[in-house]
Amino acid sequence: MTTSVVLPVLTRQHLIDPEICIRCNTCEEACKKGAITHDRRNYAVDAERCDACGDCLPPCPTGAIDSWRRVEQPHPVAAQLGWDALPEEITEAASGAAPMPQSVVEMVKEASFGQGGPAPPPWSAAHPYVGLYTPDRPAEATVVGKRRLTGDDSEVDIEHLVLDFGKTAFPILEGQSIGVLPPGATEDGRPHALRLYSTASPRDGERPGSNNLALTVKRVTRDLDGKPVRGVASGYLCDLEKGDRVRVTGPYGTSFLMPNHPGAKLLMICTGTGSAPMRAMTERRRRRLSRGEGGSILLFFGARRRSELPYFGPLMKLPKELIDVELAFSREPGQPRAYVQDRLRGRAQDVARLLSDDDAFIYLCGHKRMEQGVFEALAEIALSHEIVWADLKQRLRTEGRLHVETY
């Protein structure tokens, strides 16, 4: 008589790496299934709620969220909250377990490398420093510059802030973000979580050679459903005065970086404060023009009104050989509503040329709601030039040539 041995079945569990996670809460906001939770110490994923959809992967600034482990039994949330590091991966051979069910493997693959998952940086990007300063050990910066970017008649308040690090090293690249620790605590007594803000200045500072960086901060006065709120960190930053000190963590971001090689073509699509990384990259290019390190930039920039478009004046003064600008206003009095995707369609030939160019890099940054419309327009343009967008999009991501940062 033969005895049959029942092998344990391994599955993949979605987890968060506590050694890398900066506790910024971005993933918890992104997860519509309510699968992510946290306490004072850690962030954790509830295996019973997580369906591996991948929505939380692209917005995570550190990649801590993109952690997966083979398990026989899922690690409960309570256990994850106590971890200092991820557990070791168990292999099928070591556990004597049956192979993972194919559907889970496919699901994880799709989550990590399909729509979501961090794209690699452009092949020629400079090496980014990440997480040099943490919430427990933040850097201190001083506000040395502040000006309102939106018109006085506009109800939207977007501020340009310059933070100086003095003698503290804070190496940051265009496309990276910093964390800001707002003072005070939440209603239940926990210190406020840090919020992320993209640097709006190039790697050598707001003024070349200075140890500072600029931010473009919109005061949040309404939540995503239009209900009046007072944004904790954006309100704090927009109310700062010159001379005030700010606690800063980071830098963060290893993917949304610009190519370093001369001649690379940039297609930038942004709305509102999504202009911050675009300003940083454009200024980097402007400073390198005299060294012959050019390359075309085609920028699509959307706002509700002209008076709400950050950096409108300086942008319009940039030379045509540096940047080609298409503006879209959705609420400009006396003008038909236009969105960035409309402008993309209006420049379909130029956009298609870039989509077919192996030396073109695409950046999308701004309001979460722009993403769908922009991708639909790109898909249409691709199709009209006999390019299959789904295939191209996947290739662009794996080649580090498509970068999305929406919030």
Ligand X SMILES: Cc1cc2nc3c(=O)[nH]c(=O)nc-3n(C[C@H](O)[C@H](O)[C@H](O)COP(=O)(O)OP(=O)(O)OC[C@H]3O[C@@H](n4cnc5c(N)ncnc54)[C@H](O)[C@@H]3O)c2cc1C
The beta strand positions in 258-399, using DSSP E, are: 265-271, 297-303, 324-329, 360-366
Q: Coil, strand or helix: which one is 210? A: coil
The answer to whether residue 362 forms part of the interface with ligand SF4 (CB under 6 A) is no
What's the closest the beta carbon of residue 102 comes to ligand X, in angstroms?
34
CB atoms within 10 A of CB 352: 18
- Binding partner selected for residue 405 from ligand SF4, ligand X, none, CB under the kind-specific 5 to 8 Å limit: ligand X
Q: Which is nearer to ligand X, 13 or 273 (CB)?
A: 273
- Binding partner selected for residue 21 from ligand SF4, ligand X, none, CB under the kind-specific 5 to 8 Å limit: ligand SF4
Q: Which is nearer to ligand SF4, 63 or 202 (CB)?
A: 63
Structure tokens at 49: 């709620």
The answer to whether residue 22 forms part of the interface with ligand SF4 (CB under 6 A) is yes
DSSP assignment of 222-279 equals B-TTS-B---HHHHHHHT--TT-EEEEEEEE-SSS----STT-EEEEEEEGGGHHHHH
| CA–CA separation, 301 and 228 (whole Å) | 26
Q: Which is nearer to ligand SF4, 80 or 282 (CB)?
A: 80
Return the closest-CA partner of residue 278 out of 289, 270, 286: 270
- Binding partner selected for residue 324 from ligand SF4, ligand X, none, CB under the kind-specific 5 to 8 Å limit: none
The answer to whether residue 35 forms part of the interface with ligand SF4 (CB under 6 A) is yes
Rg (CA), the chain: 22
Q: In whole angstroms, what separates CA 377 from the centre of its chain?
A: 21
Backbone torsions φ then ψ of 148, nearest 5 degrees: -80, 135
The answer to whether residue 268 forms part of the interface with ligand SF4 (CB under 6 A) is no
The answer to whether residue 195 forms part of the interface with ligand SF4 (CB under 6 A) is no
The answer to whether residue 55 forms part of the interface with ligand SF4 (CB under 6 A) is yes
- Binding partner selected for residue 328 from ligand SF4, ligand X, none, CB under the kind-specific 5 to 8 Å limit: none
Q: Which is nearer to ligand SF4, 22 or 264 (CB)?
A: 22
The answer to whether residue 387 forms part of the interface with ligand SF4 (CB under 6 A) is no
What's the closest the beta carbon of residue 119 comes to ligand SF4, in angstroms?
16
Residues that bind ligand X (CB under 6 A): 26, 59, 61, 177, 195-198, 216-218, 220, 223-224, 229, 231-235, 273, 276, 405, 407
- Binding partner selected for residue 79 from ligand X, ligand SF4, none, CB under the kind-specific 5 to 8 Å limit: none
Cβ neighbours of residue 67 closer than 8 Å, sequence gap 6 or more: 14, 15, 16, 17, 86
Pairing state of beta strands 158-164 and 139-148? antiparallel
Binding site for ligand SF4 (CB under 6 A): 14, 16, 21-27, 30-31, 33, 35-36, 43, 45, 50-56, 60-62, 64-65, 111
